[in-house]
Amino acid sequence: MEVPVARKRARIGEVAARRRSASAVLRTRDFYIFYGLLSLFGICTLFFYMGELVDFAGWTSLRWEFFYNVHDIQRLFFLVPIVYAGYFYRDKGAIIVTIVALIVFLPRALFISPYPDPMLRVVLFIIVAGVMGYLVGIIRNESEQRRYLAALANSEKEEILSILENMEDGVCIIGPDYKIRFVNSSMVKEFGEGAGSRCYQYLHKFDEPCGEICVLLNVTDRATHRWEYTFPDGKTYEVISSPFIDSDRTFCQIATFRNITQRKQVELELIELNQLKSDLLSNVSHELKSPLTSIKGIISSLLQKDIELDNETREMLLSGVSEETDRLASLVTNLLNMSKLEAGVWNPDKERCYISDIVNNVLQPQKWVHKNHVLETALEPDLPEIYADYNQMRQVLINLLENAAAYSDEGTKIILRAKRAGNKIEVSVSDQGVGIPQEELERIFEKFYRGSQKRQKPGGTGLGLAICQAIVLSHGGQIWVESEVGHGSTFHFTLPLAQ
Ligand code: ADP
């Protein structure tokens, strides 16, 4: 017995739920609109046939002339449901209600009324009313479509703006009145906040349009343009400008700014490096050729059997060969060392050592350096140990001494000093040579850079000081120069003491 009761209850529940959902549907906005149309049409029809209804029901007190013969006014009320249908159900709704209204008019026009309507007036009214309803429908359709399109354009614009906002390049949209309508966050990072200001104020800090300087707004030929612009602060941007129609249908320009300062610098450096490399090649071949030519010349003289050479001349010629060979060796060593440093395979092999040992070791075989110069050493006594790569330190001293000799006249002094400076040792090489012009001081430690001052002897590549700097820095020291043109130069470098 329990089961059927439960089933019955469930079915009642189901029916109630279905009713509830049906009534929910009937209470939707669409149904209210439909009820509205039905009610309006019903009222109009009732009013239209009121005279016949009064007669049929025998409501004598209501037998007013008005219900019988002012058909045009009674018909006029049908305009309301027709326009209403046009508004809510558009052109098709208006046509359907107009046809239904015609059907409603026909019995009275043709049969019922003692005052039948002239058909022409009925047809005229129906046409006018139908056209009005139809127009309302079309206008509504149109305005709805416009609103939809505007909303679509807006949402598309927002979508585009959000894409632009997240772009890595700076983006700004500029109106025809130079007003900035949009800047993305990358643009803000580069140029600061700018929306609302004029582009010439924003980009160039000018009070009036830039004219020739900027092509941004001159680009009105609706094509995309690309150019590079360097601002006075040195930053270079690649600018791409394209036409852009804003949501208010204004013809604007959208411009992207890509900061290419670094790329430009690298390009310039590459060009410079290429130039330096080709300079180096021609330099190196020249520098290699001249000692080889003199060695070849000396050896040819020594080999001449018909000329008798005394011992002194023979010794002089042989020491010439030795000097030239030293120079060649030093040149090749510098080239090799630089390539090893570049490749990162010449790391300092540090050990505890004394700077005085290194100095002595360097000065002994460097006879040609001090042959024509007065070489003095001034080493502080009992200098503590340093922790350095013995060979690399030799190379630094050799390069500085060679330069001192090469850039100063014969017979002038070269002084090599070493002293303790706090927890470091400071070594310096001074000469009384040509000196270095102020504007070259910063560049002489660059690779392949050769100054304007001429060497007294051949053998330079522009690598000597670059090698010195790389070695000293890899030891945790510093290298610098003090110089006065015409009076000489002093190169200093420091090295940390052994712990
Ligand atoms: P280079 O092979 O040309 O000597 P370096 O790297 O040794 O190359 O030196 C770079 C430049 O520094 C030189 O071309 C020269 O102009 C300048 N220079 C180096 N040492 C001296 C010095 N003692 N006196 C004057 N100028 C120097």
Look at residue 289 in the predicted model and tell me its pLDDT: 83
Specify the residue with its C-alpha closest to ligand 1, atom 25: 435
Assess contact for 370 and 363: CB atoms under 8 A: yes
Residue 183 Cβ contacting ligand 1 at under 6 Å: no
Digit-coded pLDDT (tens) for 212-269: 666 666 555 677 888 898 988 999 999 998 888 887 888 888 999 999 999 999 998 8
**Span from the CA of 405 to the centroid of ligand 1 (angstroms):** 11
407 within ligand 1 shell (Cβ under 6 A): yes
- Residue 232 has, within 13 A of its CA and on its CB side, a CA count of 5
Query: Of the residues 396, 403, 439, 483, which should be mutated to test ligand 1's pocket, given the most ligand atoms within 8 Å of the CB?
Result: 403
- The three-state secondary structure class of 483 is strand
CA of 423 to the centre of ligand 1 (A): 29
> Quick check: CB of 459 below 6 Å from ligand 1?
no
Distance CA 214, CA 206 (A): 12
Is the shortest distance between the CB of 463 and ligand 1 below 6 Å? yes
Q: What is the pLDDT of residue 370?
A: 60
Q: Which two tokens stand for residue 247?
A: 């949501």
Q: What is the pLDDT of residue 113?
A: 55
pLDDT greater than 90 at residue 487 = yes
Q: What is the pLDDT of residues 399-450, one digit of tens each?
A: 999 899 989 998 999 999 999 999 999 999 999 999 999 999 989 998 878 8
Mean pLDDT of 100-115: 81
Residue 3 pLDDT: 57
Residue 45 has pLDDT above 60, yes or no: yes
Task: Compute the distance from residue 363 Cα to the ligand 1 centre, in Å.
Answer: 20
The verdict on the CB of residue 444 being under 6 Å from ligand 1 is yes
DSSP string of 223-249? S-EEEEEE-TTS-EEEEEEEEEE-TT-
Distances from the Cα of 97 to the Cα of 40, 84, 131, angstroms: 11, 9, 12
List Cα–Cα distances, 267 to 77, 100, 271, 326, 468, in angstroms: 83, 82, 6, 38, 27
> What is the mean pLDDT of the segment spanning 301-314?
84
Q: What is the tens place of the pLDDT at every residue in 168-204? A: 999 999 888 889 999 999 999 999 998 889 988 998 8
Which one has a higher pLDDT value, 54 or 38? Answer: 38
Using the predicted structure, report yes or no on whether residue 368 has a pLDDT greater than 60. no
Using the mean position of ligand 1's atoms as its centre, give its distance from the Cα of residue 463 in Å. 9
Expressed in percent and rounded to 5, the helix, strand and coil fractions of the chain are 55, 15, 25
- Ligand 1 contact, 488 CB (< 6 A): no
Contact status, residue 172 vs residue 257, Cβ threshold 8 Å: yes
Give the strand pairing for 413-421 and 374-379.
Answer: parallel
Residue 472 Cβ contacting ligand 1 at under 6 Å: no
CA–CA separation, 471 and 337 (whole Å): 10
Paired residues of 228 in beta bridges? 238
Whole-angstrom distance, CA of residue 209 vs CA of residue 198: 9
Contact yes or no for 127/81 (Cβ under 8 A): no
User: Distances in Å between the alpha carbon of 328 and those of 293, 400, 454?
Assistant: 11, 17, 19
> 189: burial class by Cβ within 10 Å (0-12, 13-18, 19+)?
exposed
**CA 451 to ligand 1 centroid distance, Å:** 6
The tokens for 256 are: 């992207």
Structure tokens at 383: 């200098």
Length of the chain: 499
pLDDT at 39: 96
- Kind and range of the H or E element at 180? strand 180-183
pLDDT above 80 for 284: no
Model confidence at 62, pLDDT cuts 50, 70, 90, reads confident
Cβ–ligand 1 distance for 428 under 6 Å, the answer no
Residue 460 in contact with ligand 1 by CB distance below 6 A: yes
Ligand 1 within 6 A of CB of 403: yes
Distance CA 405, CA 411 (A): 10
How remote is the C-alpha of 182 from its chain's centroid? Answer: 17
Q: Please report the pLDDT score of residue 305 as a whole number.
A: 81
